[in-house]
Structure 1
Amino acid sequence: MTTTLIESGRSGGPGSEPEDSPRTLHGAGEASDRVFRGVARGSGGLVLGIMLLVGVFLGYRAWKALSVAKWSFLTTAAWEPDSKHFGIAAVLTGTVLIGLVAIVIALPLALGTALYISEYAPRRIKRTLVSLVDLMAAVPSVVYGLWGAFFLQGHVTGTSRWISQYFGWIPLFKVDGVDPHDPLATATVYTSSTFIAGIVVALMVTPIATSVMRETFTQAPGGEREGAFALGATKWGMIRTVVLPFGVGGIIGGTMLGLGRALGETIAVYMIISPVFAIQPHLLQNGANSVSALIALRYGSASSFGTSALMAAGLALFTMTLVVNFIASSIVARSRSGAGAEA
């Protein structure tokens, strides 16, 4: 006698192969699980609600100025709100340039530091290095600003002159009004520049980016590491073929997190730059500005309408950082090390 078993929910007759189908699990879970789930969802909703309220507040306070300036707010380089002639073209350009200089410098520093700590550092000093990097992130911004204004600025002008001398044919590195080949030319033209502000901000964002990258690199699959060595790969070959591809999400996430910090940095930039309200594309030349430094500079003496204009500038910076973080999160979610992060 032949008996044919047909499982419930599966199609097929005698002799046919049963199809695999996922089984749905139902369960209320423990009370601790329900509490954790509720706290996690409530915390996420609270964060989103606070961000929404911040955006609504900035939009409400900025409406008076935006209704006057309209689209010229994005294209005007001057800042004279009491004369109804104002815009963020100059300070927005300066903000982006300072952020890009900071990231160009911070990315290799953070990547190299994270790789050394996770792959090369001896076990006995690894914890010390991690603590030192974390302590760097805890240093107040004003300390970095003082260091940049009174130490770095006097020692980096020679580097700025050298870059201008040999790469001045590139518009970004050109310095107007001075001959870089003249050894007697004044060095003040190279101070309070976008380049110096970018270096200081780079050192501020490097610890944050390093921590994110290091955590990602340490999670690279051990089996794939051992497989690479078994196939004859060197240490660097294993890092290049296993660790770095796996850590793409962490590299991008750390870089973008640092960029968000760089775009919004205020006091350190304010202490270093010489504010100008004109589009200044020359990185090495004296004079720069940023949205956050503009708000810090003008908020104390602003009129009612001027305060509304500053709120509009803050709204633009808030929107820009949100866009940068959204793009970064989308890229990270599609990377291997970020897979499942949004589950």
Structure 2
Amino acid sequence: MKSALTRRFLPMLCSVLALVAVLALGACSAQQPAGSIRIGTMPTEDILPMWVAEEEGLFENAGVDAEIVVFDSAQGLSAALTAGEVDIAMTDPMRAVKLCESGTDLSLEWITLGATPEQGRFGVLTSADSGITSLADLANGTKGVGLAANTVPEYVFEQLCVQQGIDPASIPVSEVASLPDRYGLVAADQLDAAALPASMLALGQASGMVLLADDATGENVSQSVMVVRDAYNTGEGAKTLAAVREVWDEAASRINADPERYRMLLVEKANLNEQVAASYAICEYPMARTAQGEPAYPPAELIEPVLSWMSAKGYVTKNVSYDESNGSFVIS
């Protein structure tokens, strides 16, 4: 009798054990880390989805060991990319081109802000007492427009001038590399105006300063981008980057669905001034993947005008072209 029972139930027992083994293996596979990644950034709103992902455990859910490394300066961030101290980073197309030109191989992966004109605005601000009311008035200025060479604010300033039929070369400028210094100088009426990012435009307007123009409407001018070092984007690194794309999209979707839920996180991480903390407009964030699940590399129509401008200004010394099929630059 015992032998008969054994013969009857043994196959069933084996099937159950096999099923348990498969389920256990699947669970282990789901928990396997996709890999580790170091994400470099400045303390700006452009990277909010990464902070949301960190705060809400999205990296952990995706099996990614992610470290967000914050830098006080763009120069420090660029140096870390060059040295391989970070794997991907939020930066701008101008800086990405210069890094490639200097020998740091990288590619543009997705737009962090600037897929539409409303995202991540830049503009030109003047003091309340300057008497200046338009970009055209700046041609008669004596203190100059504060900006820094080969940066997004300079590019936006010149494009805004061109859009209004003004020759940018007709307007005196003053090189002020530090954004806080630039803001302080224009607030004290020691500059005719200053080219600044969104957070400082908002603070200035809240303080009674005058916005002369910005790029939030009309032609899409400015972008921030996520770049990856080519040395990282291979093998396990490429798999991890693909997982991070999915994490970004999930975090961006959460922000877009309920931006107010993340206001305090944005205020903390982007160091927003308390004067604008409650009213600062939270952007809608673009996706890192297309609707078909493919990488959403920045389109050539947004990057090529930047390359042409850099060439005309003498900011690049080599021929640079952009391949939107994989986000890479070709330098010859």
Relative to the length of structure 2, the TM-score reads: 0.24
Higher percent of residues as helix? 1
Decide which structure has the larger Cα Rg and report it. Answer: 1
Higher percent of residues as strand? 2
